[in-house]
Every structure is written in C-alpha cells, then in structure tokens.
Amino acid sequence: MNNNSFKSYILFALTTIFFASCDKDFNGIGTDIIGDDNFEIKQFEKSVVAFNQNLGPVQSNNLPINALGIYNNPAFGETTANFATQVVLQTVNPTIDVALKPEIESVVLYIPYFSIKTKLKEDGVGGIYELDSIYGPAASKIKLGIYESGYYMRDFDPATQDSQVYNTNQNSLFDNVKGQLLYTNEEFVFSDAELTEINSETKEVTARKSPGIELTLNKDFFTEKIINASPGKLTTNDVFKNYFRGLYFKVEKSGTSSQLALIDFRKGTITVKYKENKSLTETDEKDRVSKSIVLNLTGNSVNLFQNNYSQSYIDGITSPNTTDGDEKLYLKGGEGSMGVINIFKDNELDLLRTNKWLINDAILTFTIDATTMANASEPNRIYLYDLNNKKQLLDYTFDSSLGSSSKFNKNTHGGIIEKETVSKRGIRYKIRLTNHIRNLISNDTVTNVKLGLVVTENIADVSNKKLATPVFAGNIKQIPTSSVINPLGTVLFGTNPKSEDQDKRLKFEIYYTKPN
C-alpha cells in the first residue's frame, strides 16, 4: 500500500469512528477535526427532487396494531376507523353438558390499551395510569357498536393460493352483512381508569387490570352460540371460525369531537362465565359449579377506514411535480400519501465517483410547515427507505443506538421530530444517510435508487403491505406496514417552495474529505 493510500485509509477510518459516535442532534463538522495537511474537510449543499405520491387503499389485514375511533386531523381531514376480527377458542372442544343445565352469568370483553402506571392511588394499592396512542381532544366520545361479524375472512385466496388480502376501503363488505348487535354505547370514552373485579358478597377487589375496553356482551347470543352449539362446532378452531365469524367494531360520531386509539386487539379476550349442576343427581342451586370459556381475538383481522379528506390535502397530492419537486410534502399514514425523493441525477453521481471524495457525513433536513400543522397532532418519527427494493437503508441496518423507548431506537440514523422547548411543537426532522451515500459513490455497480419517505409508528417494523392498486407508473406496489398503522400525518417543505420559504426548503448536506 503506498503512503497516500495509507493516509486516505487512516483518515477514512477516523472520520467513520467520529461520526458513528456523534450526538443525536446532528452537529455539523467542526474545525476541531485533526486531519492530514494533504486533505481538506469540506461541506456542500446540493438540490434534490422530492414530490408527493398518493397511495390510495392499502392492505390492512393482520396488522400488529389497529386503529379504532374517529380522528379529525386539521391538516388532512377526518378518518373513521372500524375493525373486524375473528375469535378463536383458547381451549378447543370444551365439555358442555346441557343436561347439567349450564347458565351464563356474564360475557365480558376486555382489550387493554397502551398505558403506563405512573403512580399508586392514596390507598397505596390502586394504580393511576397514563394512556398512550390516543388521539383527539381529551374525554371525547364516540358511538361504539359491536356486532357479530357476518363475513368469513379466509386465510388464503382460492384463486392464487396466496395469503388472502383485505384492504382499508372494504368497510361495506363487513357492514352490509353484520349480524346481531352485541353491545352499543352512544357515549363511549377511552378511559384511563384502572379496571377492577369486585366480589359481589364481600365487596372486596379481587383483581385489578390496566385500562382498556371492558364491557358486557349479550348473554343470550352466547348462550345460543356457545352453550347450545350444535355438535362439532367447537371441536377445532378452523370449524369454529366459520361457525362464529367474529366481531365487527363500528364507530360513529357522538357529539362535536371524537377520539381515535391504537390498540393491540390480539391481547383481547372474551370470557364467558357460567354455572352448572355438579351432576345429574346434585341439582342444589347453592352447590352449582362455576366454569368459564375464553375466546381470544387472535384470528384474522382487518382495519377499515372511511376518509373525508380536506380539499387542501387533496390539492397537495393530486398533481405532483416529478421534475422539480413539490412545494410541500404531505406524509399521511393509513390510507394516505408518501414522499418520493431522488437524491442524484446520474451525471452528478458519476462526478462524485470521479472526484473520489471520502464521505464523512450526509444529512437530509426536513422543515415542518408549522402554520399548516399548528393544531394537529404530529408524528414522532418519519422513515426513509429504499423505494426500488422495498427495504431499509444501510444507515438503518448499521445503527444499533438505543433510545428512551423502542420507538426512539436507531436515533443516529434519525427521523425523530425536533421540537421547540416552550411550545413543544415540531420544528424539523433530520435523517442521516451517510452509509447509503458512501456505498453509492464507492461502488459504481450500485444503483442510484429512489427513496421513499413515510410516517412510522414502529421503527423496528420493516415489513410491507400491498397497495390495492400500484402507483407511480406501477413502480410502487407496497408501503411500510408501520405507515399503515400510524393515523397521523405531517406537512413538510419540499424542494420547490415559494420564494418566501426558500430558507425552509428540504436540505441535503454532504460533508466530505477532499485530497489536495
């Protein structure tokens, strides 16, 4: 190895170590970096092209987290989120002898919210909780109806034998064939109250549960469906899921304001408690035996959206400028929209490769349109990925940094919202793509891919869901699952803003070492 090559290698290694350990605020390169006199540290800002892409309906079956409720986003419009799920027997083929005169006492549905116990109550026993992932004005009400589902959700598409796909826009498929109403509440609230079970005789608390949906379903329905089920209907869950096709959760407005919650329905249960005689000969009411059957909400499921978008949002995503970029980027989760970013033109990349620059750092900075987003909830994070190959960037893969919670892991790669100290409103998002740019420049066989930009709910989830109809000339067929889950959106300044907003445009900065 010659002397100059050795110096280049050492400097590259030192700068790589330095930027891998830099702080989370994306501080730029300072003058305190010690380099060889034969090298010069430089920084330049180059223009990129970024534009909007409307996505339309998207696959929403078997999501890890689902939305329920109504959210009115001032920047995007109103979304109503319904939900349907199959239920399965926790223990198949339960023994039910009608000769023992079984009688249901209660049917309780329980689905926990995302919550944190912040402290104990004054009695030192009960808990005080804070809810997470609830959107909309506090204590807002919705009308909630829970129905027997009349639609059978298949595991596989009979035409292709691929996994069956259900989309966000198929609410009518379930609503038109819904069965008996099992529960209704015209003033349902996502409450943060701890849930308790109380002994009817001693009035003592026998069990405590974190906040969640807890309600009583129709006993007569479950008497016929479970206790009086025809022979063979409860023997296996494959048979049971076709016999009892699950639940359909339907929400409607109740008042002027509403709320929407993200919920892990897979943790939900239906507990059917009943009593029966000890035997055919022992029929004393006082000696009846207590039993229970538990149903889990772990079968196939689908989130169903109904959207009433604002005209400004529709106008913003209708005719993207794919040549110069759009004035603003509208990132919307669910059945929403994304940003498409082209970092380099082919000749620009060839020039950088010829110059043989050593890339120290590369950062994309997105400024939030604070005026448009003034009264809207803001997503904590955005996610940048390889749009062509539907996978994460190298910077994502190599980043093992940990945050205060899993939602803030990979914080060196970034995409986490930066907020004003006083107002707590968002200012910008920054994403580091240093390794991606290094790979492009150092390897002339690597393709200059387009990048996709979406809101994300879970930075660890890099799976994808199919679009109902491919977009962008058929080149975009899937989007990240984490974006489908997130009900929020953000408006960012793009690459072609108005003259008065030039200082807020999307910035792409590269810091590099150039041989003298």
DSSP string of 346-390?
A: HHHHHHHHHHT-EEEEEEEEEEB-TTTTTTS---SBEEEEETTTT
What share of residues in the chain are helix, strand, coil (percent, to 5)?
20, 40, 40
Give the pLDDT confidence score for residue 355 in this predicted structure.
83
- pLDDT value of position 29: 37
Secondary structure (3-state) at 484: helix
pLDDT in 10s for each residue of the chain, 516 residues: 444 443 444 444 444 444 444 444 444 433 333 445 556 778 888 889 999 999 999 999 999 999 999 999 999 999 999 999 999 999 999 999 999 999 999 999 999 999 999 999 998 899 999 999 999 999 899 999 999 999 999 999 999 999 999 999 999 999 999 999 999 999 999 999 999 998 878 888 989 999 999 999 999 999 999 999 999 999 999 999 999 999 999 999 998 999 999 999 999 999 999 999 999 988 888 889 999 999 999 999 999 999 999 999 999 999 999 999 999 999 999 999 999 999 998 788 888 888 888 999 999 999 999 999 999 999 999 999 999 999 999 999 999 999 988 999 999 999 999 999 999 999 999 999 999 999 998 887 888 999 999 999 999 999 999 999 999 989 999 999 999 999 999 999 999 888 788 899 999 999 998 776
Domain residue extents for the chain: 3-57+310-515, 77-88+112-268+301-306
Cβ(77)–Cβ(245) under 8 Å? no
Question: So what's the pLDDT on residue 514?
Answer: 79
In the three-class reduction of DSSP (H, G, I as helix; E, B as strand; rest coil), residue 458 is classed as coil
Furthest C-alpha separation in the chain: 101
Write down the pLDDT at residue 18.
Answer: 42
Token pair listed for 474: 């058929």
Q: What pLDDT shows up at residue 497?
A: 80
The three-point CA angle 187-188-193 to 5° equals 125
- Non-local CB neighbours of 409 within 8 Å, separated by 6+ positions: 401, 402, 403, 459, 460
DSSP assignment, residue 28? P
Kind of pairing, strands 358-367 and 426-432? antiparallel
pLDDT value at position 39? Answer: 63
Overall pTM > 0.85? yes
Axis-axis angle for helices 346-355, 434-442 (nearest 10): 80
Q: Which two tokens stand for residue 244?
A: 């009892």
Backbone angles phi, psi at 77, to 5 degrees: 120, -165
Place of tokens 């793509």: 433
pLDDT recorded at residue 141: 97
Distance CA 54, CA 73 (A): 17
Task: Report pLDDT for 348.
Answer: 86
Ranges of beta strands (E only) in 15-76 are 39-46, 49-54, 66-73
pLDDT of res. 16: 45
DSSP E strand stretches across 155-246: 181-188, 195-198, 205-209, 212-216
Q: How far apart are alpha carbons 385 and 364 in whole angstroms?
A: 13
Half-sphere exposure of 5 (CA within 13 A, CB side): 2
Sign for the CA dihedral angle at 230, 232, 236, 239 comes to: negative
Cβ pair 428, 472 in contact under 8 A: no
